[in-house]
Structure 1
Amino acid sequence: MNTFHKFALLALISSVIVGCSSSPTESETETTPPISSSDRYQEERYELKHDVAPDQPISVEHIEEITPQYEPYSLGGNKNYTVRGKRYQVIKDPTNFKEKGQASWYGKKFHGHLTSNGEVYDMYSMTAAHKELPLPSYVKVTNTDNGKSTIVRVNDRGPFHPGRIIDLSFAAAKKLDVIKTGTANVEIEVITVEKPTTQTKKQALKQFQIQVASSQHKDRVETLAQDLSQKLSVTSFVNSEQEIHRVILGPFDDYDLTQKTLEQVKLLGYSSAFVRKN
């Protein structure tokens, strides 16, 4: 294996294990160990050197709050990993997990890039990054500086800065008024949703959709939606918002059918597909 192929392999592995919010800043390089080839890849794979807010910030009032639901943990992003010489262990059982510290946020630099579990980072979605919670997890975040709170879906790794416990998407940070200050004191609490039993399937889990993939290329997403609709014999459509286009299957009224379709989607290669409420 030549040097180029070795570097490419390291880059690929790093992009899966260490998500969008994990690239180190210039100030970190003065106090941390020398940058490895995989860490250097994290710095170089983005078009922007520094993270910024959108060119034309929009109101996020129309963005709905996330409703926690049961989701199996992702195939990717849930193994123990090392960043800048420090080892991180993914929490196996996050029930009753609480944590206090600082929240930061990440935006345009990472928009459209892969998160640690293989999804596409959308700064206008209510998501977040955490170093050790299993992916995905639902977390209630309370800004203790102003009392505001919201729920986010953790699908990425980070932040790797001393004292910071969670990286919020632009939308989530906007709702908590973290954009102006850059960071805020927060308390986070994991919301655990038990796997539904046979008795609750028909009552609690109705009208669900499967989000297969998202991309900035609308034509590709539309083609994929049509292709999956034909292969799986299900309804599909494209949901577009702020230059991100998502392939959605459904809605489904039957929980068993939803899960069976999700398994088929993953067998087709879309391992980051997940179920969401309609």
Structure 2
Amino acid sequence: MNTLNKYTILVIALSGLSACSINNSRYSQKQDSAPEFHYGDLELADATPRYEPYAPANFRPYTVLGQYYTPMLTAKGYEEHGEASWYGQKFHGHLTSNGEVYDMFSMTAAHKTLPLPSFVKVTNLDNQKIAIVRVNDRGPFHPGRVIDLSYAAAKKLDVLSTGVANVKVEVVHIDEDGIMTVGAGAPQQPEIPPSLAQPESNAVMVAQANTKTTMEDRVELESAAPPISNALASVMAGSDKKSQIFVQVAAFSDAEKVSELSEGLARLYQVPTDAPLIDNIYRLRLGPLINEQKAEKLIQDLRSIGFDSAFQILSAD
């Protein structure tokens, strides 16, 4: 079998494995967790507050665990205190309550009753760290918890190690004329403060507007999600100047083949991929990875599906 046919078959197989993992089971892992690769010291940008009309479908009351919830009609002037928690790998790539795709590397959050979407300023009262997040999901459904943060937001607020933190939540409301109100504060003219004027960390991928949701311990959705873009993960990898662990899968001259394999492997292993062009050859690699044990396991898996030349590399670029 020639090399081209070999990797064409592998692409098809990888696509099939990815589809099965999404469609046959709502989640690919039982317990939630942080990602399995090294995140680095990247300072994530806050979500950028802007005017977004509320989605009418998200005003429908709902019931979870016997508790009845009625979403607010407006979030202007809202603030509250309570505990924040976070959610990560288990829900990564699945639909949120308003039909978007959850990306744990975006600055997002879940709230039980705020209109979707909303922007909120979250202050960790234990260390005074602040993050601006976009609320696009429902939860958390645990007593005392007022907001569920994405992995990225939890990292910025230093909540990952503790699991929960005491926080203050203030809605950043911007009307159609650009007038901004933060929590119960006075309205401000249409000028985003420097602390908020940072680029969106990642574009959200929007599913069909009429997606029907099912509420469980979290708001869990049946529909299969498309794969998360590797763009942000590539930025994260490039931002850490320390030596990082990667696994090189193979080298190719065909850019289209690299793109197809990259997407399939990213889905299958839930790790970032990149393919730097060196001497007119694309070197497809996975990572950065959290440790050498993870790299060794990944190499074994890759060799078992035909990538016999997979090997570990260290890189500072």
Give the share of equivalent positions with the same residue, in percent: 54
- Work out which of the residue numbers 219, 240, 262 in structure 1 matches 2:231: 240
5 Å matches for 1:83-162? 83-162=64-143
CA contact (8 A) 1:104 1:182 kept: yes
> Does the C-alpha gap of structure 1 residues 48 and 91 become closer, same or farther in structure 2, counting only changes over 3 Å?
same
Q: Name the aligned partner's letter for residue 81 of structure 2.
A: K
What's the counterpart of residue 216 of structure 1? 227
Aligned residues: 174
- Work out which of the residue numbers 20, 30, 53 in structure 1 matches 2:34: 53
Q: CA deviation at 1:122?
A: 0.2
CA RMSD of aligned residues (A): 2.8
What's the counterpart of residue 179 of structure 1? 160
> Does the C-alpha gap of structure 1 residues 57 and 75 become closer, same or farther in structure 2, counting only changes over 3 Å?
farther
State how far apart, in whole Å, the 1-side matches of 2:204 and 2:158 are. Answer: 31
CA contact (8 A) 2:100 2:204 kept: no
Q: CA deviation at 1:46?
A: 1.3
Contiguous gaps of at least 5 residues in structure 1: 1-43, 198-202, 219-238, 244-278
Q: Name the aligned partner's letter for residue 62 of structure 2.
A: Y
Q: Name the aligned partner's letter for residue 73 of structure 1.
A: Y
TM-score (norm 1): 0.57
> Does the C-alpha gap of structure 1 residues 60 and 85 become closer, same or farther in structure 2, counting only changes over 3 Å?
farther
What is the DSSP-based 3-state SS (H/G/I as helix, E as strand, rest coil) of the residue aligned with 1:174? Answer: helix
State how far apart, in whole Å, the 1-side matches of 2:170 and 2:204 are. Answer: 28
Q: Name the aligned partner's letter for residue 142 of structure 2.
A: H
CA contact (8 A) 1:129 1:155 kept: yes
Contiguous gaps of at least 5 residues in structure 2: 1-24, 179-189, 193-198, 207-225, 235-317
What is the DSSP-based 3-state SS (H/G/I as helix, E as strand, rest coil) of the residue aligned with 2:89? Answer: coil
- Per-residue Cα deviation, 1:101-138 (whole angstroms, up to 9, x for no partner): 00000000000000000000000000000000000000
Looking at CA atoms only, which structure, 1 or 2, has the larger radius of gyration? 2
Q: CA deviation at 1:56?
A: 1.4
TM-score (norm 2): 0.50
Q: Name the aligned partner's letter for residue 137 of structure 1.
A: S
State how far apart, in whole Å, the 2-side matches of 1:112 and 1:76 are. Answer: 22
